[in-house]
Amino acid sequence: MKRTVVIVGGGLGGLFAGAMLAKEGIGVTVIEKNRTIGGGLQTFERFGEEFDTGMHVLGGMRKGGSVWRICEYLGIADKLRLMDVSDTCSDKIYFAEDGSSYEVGSGEEGFVKTLAAYFPEEEANIRQYVEAIVGMAGKVDLFNLRPSSAQLSMMPTSDGFLKPADEYIAQFVKDARLRMLLAYKSPHYGGVGGKTPAYIHAIVSTLYIKGSTRFVGGSGQMATLLAGVIRENGGEVVAGDGVSHIEVEDKTVREVRTESGNVYRADYYISAIHPCTMFGLLSDKALPKSYRDRLNSIPNSISAFSLYIKMKAGAFPFMNYSEYYLAKGADVWGFSGAGEWLRGFIMMTPPVEGQGTYSDTVVVVAPMAFENVRQWEYTTVGRRGEEYLAWKRARVEELLGHIEEIHPRFREKVEAVEASSPLTIRDYYGVKEGSMCGFSKDCNDMMQSQVPVVTKVKNLLLTGQNSNLHGICGVPLTAINTSEVILGQNYIINKINECTES
């Protein structure tokens, strides 16, 4: 008999796991609560323009990269519309402290040379640092799509892996500004000083040092292609009908029920939503209280306040790189608390088909702790009240003001602005506290931070950014881990490698 699986959640993790399993002969049904599938791959339309909600800059998507190889195995790599970010300047970092800016190049040599141009006395140290983090990432089997005997092949395997990332960087370079530059992406992967493990910094940094990519015409194309793989192999993707209950009996899932009353039964069930959100779909006795308490107690990574801006025609140049802004006194490792929220942001101009000299849209993402919206925690979309709307408008004006430090008179070039807060992320993605990167990883207590893809319910598995890594690379890799619980250790990894070899 053909084995079957029901996947709760049609985001990045659910769709990748579903596509892999469907391709390998498993009967797959994906159930997504939103009318639009994709989670962080979702796009939405405002002011006649289409905006990405999450996947703005991609690591591992260049030919030969880990995510590209997974997509090649699934048969969708050549169907994706992508644009490589400029290698000579992949990112520009602006420090409001003194108005200085730094351009960072791609490729190991390009990265070293661009930073060494600003810090010539540190060139040897920068080179040693790059060799160290690329070497560290190279030891992680799953990240490199190598067969492994370890059940959790993203776990640390060498000395230094569990050192705090900020301390790890400091052992290579002396200059405080350079240390910040080597970790400028930290706020956007939930980096916390003294806690984020060096191996996470190494993997994320290596991805982007090797060169980043962007979707042309929106990230929703990947969700559509992954859903296509599922359907082409006999599976089903159901949108707009969220799961309301997961029935567990004798430590086995028997069925899931949806809000419209539909019932789905399968051999296996995969939760591709936040584990704490999943708890609300289960009876209290389905999982041990100790397990629930542990996961509920794990801190979530930071959320974000975002702007989606339509620009006036021919008013703002297209930038084939991202701009990072660090506020006065901001520390790249200090974004996780409440306090003053605007410590920095990333600004991007998403490319479209036939991209010309000017950009139609700009997206700005500013890390923001959920504490900043805690007073509206129990409100719902469209019913948060005038005080909340006024608060949002004030935050928009703050952000636009800081953008004008880099781009004078920017407001004059803006046609329309839409804003989202951590509440938006929480409600549309079903993510606890609107976390951008899932559970926060703490090198001082990794056992507390680790969430295996297997659970105490025999046929219930987890996938998504709360196990292993987050983002366009981490989530598909975790989907491999989850799928291989059903298919067998290294089954998907070997299939990917066979595809690459052929």
As a three-state string, the secondary structure of 368-436 is ECHHHHHHHCCCCCCCCCHHHHHHHHHHHHHHHHHHHHHCCCHHHHEEEEEEECHHHHHHHHCCHHHCC
Nearest CA to 271 out of 79, 485, 488 is that of: 485
> Which is it for strands 58-59 and 212-215: parallel, antiparallel or unpaired?
antiparallel
Kind and range of the H or E run holding 323: strand 322-326
What predicted TM-score, i.e. pTM, was given to this entire model?
0.95
Kind and range of the H or E run holding 473: helix 471-487
Find the helix packing angle between 123-138 and 198-209, rounded to 10°: 100
Beta-carbon-side half-sphere exposure of residue 243 (alpha carbons within 13 Å): 29
DSSP 8-state class, residue 441:
P
pLDDT at 469: 80
pLDDT at 468: 79
278: how many CB neighbours lie within 10 A of its CB? 24
Contact criterion met (CB below 8 Å) for 218 and 73: no
Grouping H, G, I as helix, E, B as strand and the rest as coil, residue 482 is helix
- pLDDT of 272-300, one tens digit each? 999 999 999 999 999 999 999 999 999 88
Rounded Cα distance, 263 and 260, in Å: 9
Rounded Cα distance, 127 and 110, in Å: 11
Which residues have a Cβ under 8 Å from the Cβ of 65 and sit 6 or more positions away? 59, 207, 210
Q: Categorise residue 120: left if φ over 0, alpha if ψ from -120 to 50, beta otherwise.
A: alpha
Nearest CA to 38 out of 52, 59, 57 is that of: 52
Which residues have a Cβ under 8 Å from the Cβ of 408 and sit 6 or more positions away? none
Distances (CA, A) of 381 to 42, 53, 207, 359, 427: 17, 16, 35, 30, 8
Which residues have a Cβ under 8 Å from the Cβ of 287 and sit 6 or more positions away? 279, 455, 456, 457
pLDDT at 470: 81
Rounded Cα distance, 477 and 142, in Å: 7
Residue spans of beta strands (DSSP E) within 41-86:
43-46, 49-52, 58-59, 82-84
Rg (CA), the chain: 22
Q: Give 179-227 as a 3 state SS string.
A: HHHHCCCHHHHCCCCCCCEHHHHHHHHHHHHCCEEEECCCCHHHHHHHH
Nearest CA to 393 out of 362, 418, 415, 374 is that of: 418
pLDDT at 157: 57
Locus of tokens 């990917």:
496
Kind and range of the H or E run holding 365: strand 361-368
pLDDT at 175: 95
Grouping H, G, I as helix, E, B as strand and the rest as coil, residue 446 is helix
Nearest CA to 83 out of 100, 98, 115, 61 is that of: 61
Grouping H, G, I as helix, E, B as strand and the rest as coil, residue 41 is helix
pLDDT at 441: 87
Q: Which residues in the chain come in under a pLDDT of 70?
A: 1, 150-158, 337-340, 502
Grouping H, G, I as helix, E, B as strand and the rest as coil, residue 255 is strand
Contact criterion met (CB below 8 Å) for 19 and 230: yes
- pLDDT of 6-61, one tens digit each? 999 999 999 999 999 999 999 999 999 999 999 888 889 999 999 998 888 888 89
Nearest CA to 294 out of 83, 470, 445 is that of: 445
pLDDT at 53: 86
Rounded Cα distance, 296 and 275, in Å: 9
